[in-house]
A and B are shown apart, each in its own frame.
Chain A
Amino acid sequence: MMFLRLLSDVRWRAANPRWRRMTCSRRSTSSTAEPHPISLPAQAQVVICGGGIVGTSVAYHLSKLGWKDIVLLEQGRLAAGTTRFCAGIVSTARPVSIELKMADYSNKLYQQLEQETGIKTGTRSTGSISLAQTQDRLISLKRIASSLNVMGIPCEIITPKQVAQLHPLINIHDLVGAMYVPGDALVSSADVSLALATAASRNGVQIHERTSVSHVLVQKGRVTGVETDRGQISCQYFVNCAGQVGLLNFFFLFFPLVFTPSLNSLPTSFLSSAAIVDPDGRIYIRSWQGGILSGGFEKNPKPLFTEGRNQLEIQNLQEDWDHFEPLLSALLRRMPGLEALQIMQLVNCPETFTPDMRCIMGESPTVQGYFVLAGMNSAGISYGGGAGKYLAEWMVNGYPSENVWPLDLKRFGTLQSSRTFLRHRVMEVMPLICDLKVPRWDFQTGRQLRTSPLYDRLDAQGARWMEKHGFERVKYFVPPGKDLLDLDQSKTFYKPDWFDIVGSEVKCCKEAVCVIDMSSFTKFEISSTGDQALESLQYLFSNDLDVPVGHVVHTGMLNEKGGYENDCSIARLNKRSFFMISPTDQQVHCWAWLKNRLPSNSSLTMEDVTWKYTALNLIGPRAVDVLSELSYAPITPEHFPSLFCKEMSVGYANGIRVMSITHTGEPGFMLYIPIEYALHVYNEVMNMGQKYGIRNAGYYALRSLRIEKFFAFWGQDLDAFTTPMECGREFQVKLEKGMEFIGQEALLEQKQNGVYKRFTMFILEDHDTDMDLWPWWGEPIFRNGRYVGKTTSSAYSYTVERHVCLGFVQHFDEKTGEELVVTTDFINQGEYEIDIAGQRFQAKAKLYPFSSLFTHRRRKDEMELSDLTGKR
Chain B
Amino acid sequence: MPAPAHLFPLIRNCEIGRICSTVCYCHRKHLCCFSSHFAHGHFRCAPQRKFAALCRPKENFNQFIHARDYASTPQRFYLTPPQVNSILKANEYSFKVPEFDGKNISSVLGFDSNQLPANAPIEDRRSAATCLQTRGMLLGVFDGHAGCACAQAVSERLFYYIAVSLLPHETLLEIENAVESGRALLPILQWHKHPNDYFSKEASKLYFNSLRTYWQELIDLNSGETTDVKEALINAFKRLDNDISLEAQVGDPNSFLNYLVLRVAFSGATACVAHVDGVDLHVANTGDSRAMLGVQEEDGSWSAVNLSYDHNAQNEHEVERVKMEHPKSEEKSLVKQDRLLGLLMPFRAFGDVKFKWSIELQKRVVESGPDQLNDNEYTKFIPPNYHTPPYLTAEPEVIHHKLRPQDKFLVLATDGLWETMHRQDVARIVGEYLTGVHHQQPIAVGGYKVTLGQMHGLLTERRARISSVFEDQNAATHLIRHAVGNNEFGTVDHERLSKMLSLPEELARMYRDDITIIVVQFNSHVVGACQNEEL
Interface residue ranges, A against B (CB under 8 Å):
257, 260, 263, 318-322, 324-325, 328-329, 331-332, 338-343, 345-346
Interface residue ranges, B against A (CB under 8 Å):
440, 442-445, 449-453, 455-456, 459-460, 462-463, 466
Residues of A within 8 A of B445 (CB): 319, 321, 343, 345-346
Residues of B within 8 A of A260 (CB): 449
Given contacts A257-B452, A339-B453, contact A328 B459 (CB under 8 A): yes
In the complex the two chains form, is A339's CB within 8 Å of B463's CB? no
In the complex the two chains form, is A319's CB within 8 Å of B452's CB? no
Complex CA gap A346/B444 in Å reads: 9
Residues of A within 8 A of B449 (CB): 260, 342
Which residue in chain B gives the minimum CB-CB distance to A333? B456
Of B443, B462, B466, the most chain A CB neighbours within 10 A belong to B443
Given contacts A319-B442, A320-B442, contact A328 B456 (CB under 8 A): yes
In the complex the two chains form, is A263's CB within 8 Å of B442's CB? no
User: Contacts A328-B455, A331-B452, A345-B445 given; 12 further ones with Cβ under 8 A?
Assistant: A257-B452, A260-B449, A263-B451, A319-B444, A321-B459, A322-B442, A322-B443, A329-B456, A339-B453, A339-B456, A343-B445, A343-B455
Residues of A within 8 A of B444 (CB): 319, 321
Which residue in chain A gives the minimum CB-CB distance to B459? A325
Total number of residue pairs linking A and B with CB closer than 8 Å? 59
Complex CA gap A335/B57 in Å reads: 62
Of A320, A321, A332, A339, the most chain B CB neighbours within 10 A belong to A321
Residues of A within 8 A of B452 (CB): 257, 328, 331-332, 338-343
Complex CA gap A319/B459 in Å reads: 13
Of A263, A320, A322, A338, the most chain B CB neighbours within 10 A belong to A322
- Sample 10 A-B pairs with CB under 8 A, ordered by A number: A321-B445, A322-B463, A325-B460, A328-B455, A339-B451, A339-B452, A342-B449, A342-B451, A342-B452, A345-B445
Residues of A within 8 A of B442 (CB): 318-322
In the complex the two chains form, is A340's CB within 8 Å of B459's CB? no
Shortest Cβ-Cβ A-B pairs, 4 listed: A339-B453, A325-B459, A321-B443, A343-B450
CB distance from A334 to the nearest CB of B (A): 12
CB distance from A203 to the nearest CB of B (A): 44
Residues of A within 8 A of B443 (CB): 319, 321-322
Complex CA gap A342/B454 in Å reads: 9
Residues of B within 8 A of A332 (CB): 452-453, 456
Residues of A within 8 A of B456 (CB): 325, 328-329, 332, 339
CB distance from B48 to the nearest CB of A (A): 47
Complex CA gap A322/B460 in Å reads: 9
Residues of B within 8 A of A319 (CB): 442-445
Residues of A within 8 A of B440 (CB): 322
Given contacts A319-B442, A322-B442, A329-B456, contact A340 B451 (CB under 8 A): yes
Question: Which listed residue, B453, B460, B462, touches A340 by the CB 8 Å rule?
Answer: B453
Residues of B within 8 A of A322 (CB): 440, 442-443, 459, 462-463, 466
Residues of B within 8 A of A328 (CB): 452, 455-456, 459
Complex CA gap A329/B458 in Å reads: 12
Residues of A within 8 A of B451 (CB): 263, 339-343
Complex CA gap A340/B450 in Å reads: 9
CB distance from A753 to the nearest CB of B (A): 63
Complex CA gap A198/B115 in Å reads: 72
Residues of B within 8 A of A321 (CB): 442-445, 455, 459
CB distance from A740 to the nearest CB of B (A): 61
Residues of A within 8 A of B462 (CB): 322, 325
Residues of B within 8 A of A263 (CB): 451
CB distance from A814 to the nearest CB of B (A): 54
Residues of B within 8 A of A331 (CB): 452
Complex CA gap A321/B460 in Å reads: 11
CB distance from B220 to the nearest CB of A (A): 62
Residues of A within 8 A of B450 (CB): 342-343
CB distance from A46 to the nearest CB of B (A): 44
Residues of A within 8 A of B455 (CB): 321, 328, 343
Complex CA gap A527/B440 in Å reads: 67
Which residue in chain B gives the minimum CB-CB distance to A320? B442
CB distance from B450 to the nearest CB of A (A): 5
Residues of B within 8 A of A339 (CB): 451-453, 456
Which residue in chain B gives the minimum CB-CB distance to A346? B445
CB distance from B439 to the nearest CB of A (A): 12
Which residue in chain B gives the minimum CB-CB distance to A292? B452
Complex CA gap A565/B102 in Å reads: 48
Residues of A within 8 A of B466 (CB): 322
CB distance from B213 to the nearest CB of A (A): 59
Residues of B within 8 A of A341 (CB): 451-452
CB distance from A347 to the nearest CB of B (A): 11
CB distance from B13 to the nearest CB of A (A): 34
CB distance from B447 to the nearest CB of A (A): 11
Residues of B within 8 A of A343 (CB): 445, 450-452, 455
CB distance from B462 to the nearest CB of A (A): 6
Which residue in chain A gives the minimum CB-CB distance to B458? A321
Which residue in chain A gives the minimum CB-CB distance to B450? A343
Complex CA gap A338/B450 in Å reads: 12
Which residue in chain A gives the minimum CB-CB distance to B448? A343
Complex CA gap A319/B448 in Å reads: 15
CB distance from B199 to the nearest CB of A (A): 42
Which residue in chain B gives the minimum CB-CB distance to A331? B452
CB distance from B525 to the nearest CB of A (A): 22
CB distance from A394 to the nearest CB of B (A): 45
Complex CA gap A320/B459 in Å reads: 11
Of B445, B451, B452, the most chain A CB neighbours within 10 A belong to B452
CB distance from A276 to the nearest CB of B (A): 15
Residues of B within 8 A of A257 (CB): 452
CB distance from A133 to the nearest CB of B (A): 20
Complex CA gap A321/B450 in Å reads: 13
Residues of B within 8 A of A320 (CB): 442
Complex CA gap A320/B444 in Å reads: 8
CB distance from A264 to the nearest CB of B (A): 9
CB distance from B403 to the nearest CB of A (A): 32
Which residue in chain B gives the minimum CB-CB distance to A345? B445
Complex CA gap A329/B455 in Å reads: 10
Residues of A within 8 A of B460 (CB): 325, 329
In the complex the two chains form, is B453's CB within 8 Å of A325's CB? no
Complex CA gap A354/B347 in Å reads: 67
Which residue in chain B gives the minimum CB-CB distance to A324? B459
Complex CA gap A162/B391 in Å reads: 86
Complex CA gap A663/B382 in Å reads: 97
Residues of B within 8 A of A338 (CB): 452
Of A263, A320, A325, the most chain B CB neighbours within 10 A belong to A325
CB distance from B438 to the nearest CB of A (A): 9
Complex CA gap A338/B456 in Å reads: 11
Complex CA gap A328/B445 in Å reads: 14
Residues of B within 8 A of A318 (CB): 442
Residues of A within 8 A of B453 (CB): 332, 339-340
Which residue in chain B gives the minimum CB-CB distance to A260? B449
CB distance from B63 to the nearest CB of A (A): 46
Which residue in chain B gives the minimum CB-CB distance to A335? B452
Complex CA gap A332/B459 in Å reads: 13
CB distance from B173 to the nearest CB of A (A): 53
CB distance from B444 to the nearest CB of A (A): 6
CB distance from A147 to the nearest CB of B (A): 36
CB distance from B35 to the nearest CB of A (A): 56
Residues of B within 8 A of A325 (CB): 456, 459-460, 462-463
Which residue in chain A gives the minimum CB-CB distance to B443? A321
CB distance from A330 to the nearest CB of B (A): 11
